[in-house]
Amino acid sequence: MTSCLPAHSRYRVIVNPWAGRGNGQRLLPQVRGLLQGLPHDLVLTEAPRHATALAAAAADEGYEVVVAVGGDGTNFEVLNGLAGRETAMAFLPIGSGNDLIKPLGIPRDLAGAARRLREGRVRRIDLGRVGDTYFGNGLGVGFDARVALESYRLPRLRGLPLYMAAIWRAVWRFHSPALTIHYDGREIQGRFMMANVANGRCLAAGFWLTPQAEMDDGLLDLCLVADMPLPIFFYHLPKVLRGRHTHLREVTMLRARRVTVEAQSPVPMHADGEVLDEAVTSLGIEVVPGALRVLC
């Protein structure tokens, strides 16, 4: 269900100048031009997690909309400042992946996204939560978190080439951990290359890990990829780009409201591509229905 913004809404625009390997700074004049005539003020982030504080302050000050100008990292920070509040979130995508907006149907070009922003249609979506941290897209334990770590070390690349290079680097440094996963009172054990708990459908600049996920169904979608030899892994990897991996015998797809993951040895963890912990052994994840209002 969608609704409309009230007349004379105010917009706080949060720009990450480092998004997309510096796109935020380069595209700032274009962003200002696209926002002409819209009642807004624009601020630049100055440090990691600054966007979370700016978004929360905007909600406290009564702004109706916060516009995230960046990529999935910026979106992650902004939604953590707005979760559970009535201030809506909007998107002007300039990042490397821009995965959160894909299932929302928001155009990936700036002009198209700006037109959608001005239409002012608001929808409520769910968020995932681990501890006190929210995520819009997905949380990963294992290989995809290792990929996220490796991507930090490749500053010259963007988009899909960045993630493919990070995958290549990660695969030689990774051993599938032994995990016990509880989901809504059931349990599954094994060695998994990946254990992804998703609210959205797409991660890592185009990998459709959970292609059937809905962002407003009150459920999290799980994609569990069993340990497999590297040649088989690379053979199947292109199928994930099209969401055609879900039938493979090495892949288990599940849905749940609450998930706990226990690892026999420490493993890295990411949420929406942001590494939260490089060595976690236990975590609890839950869905928070209707936690975020978005313009889409």
Distance of alpha carbon 79 from alpha carbon 257, whole angstroms: 20
Cα separation, 83 vs 75, whole angstroms: 12
- Whole-model pTM: value is 0.91
Q: How many other CB atoms are found less than 10 A from the CB of residue 91?
A: 28
Task: State what percent of residues in the chain have pLDDT above 90.
Answer: 70
Alpha-carbon distance of 56 to 59, in angstroms, equals 5
Residue extents of the structural domains in the chain = 2-119, 134-290
CATH number of 2-119: 3.40.50.10330
pLDDT tens-digit profile of 175-197? 899 999 999 999 999 999 889 99
Arithmetic mean of pLDDT, 91-95: 91
Q: Compute how many other C-beta atoms are within 10 angstroms of the C-beta atom of residue 263.
A: 21
Q: Which distant-in-sequence residues (6+ apart) come within 8 Å of 13 by Cβ?
A: 31, 35, 40, 41, 42, 43, 66, 67, 69, 92
pLDDT at 21: 66
Position 22 pLDDT exceeds 90: no
pLDDT tops 90 at residue 122: yes
Cα 253 vs. chain centroid, distance in angstroms? 19
Is residue 74 within 8 Å of 55, Cβ to Cβ?
no
Higher-confidence residue of 245 and 120: namely 245
The pLDDT assigned to 7 comes to 77
CATH architecture group of domain 134-290: Sandwich (2.60)
237/84 Cα distance (integer angstroms) = 36
Handedness of CA 145, 147, 149, 151 (dihedral sign): negative
Residue 252 has pLDDT above 90, yes or no: yes
Q: How many Å apart are CA 39 and CA 7, to the nearest integer?
A: 11
Q: 199-227 pLDDT, tens per residue?
A: 999 887 778 999 999 999 999 999 999 99
Q: Which candidate, 214, 219, 97, 208, places its Cα nearest to that of 158?
A: 97
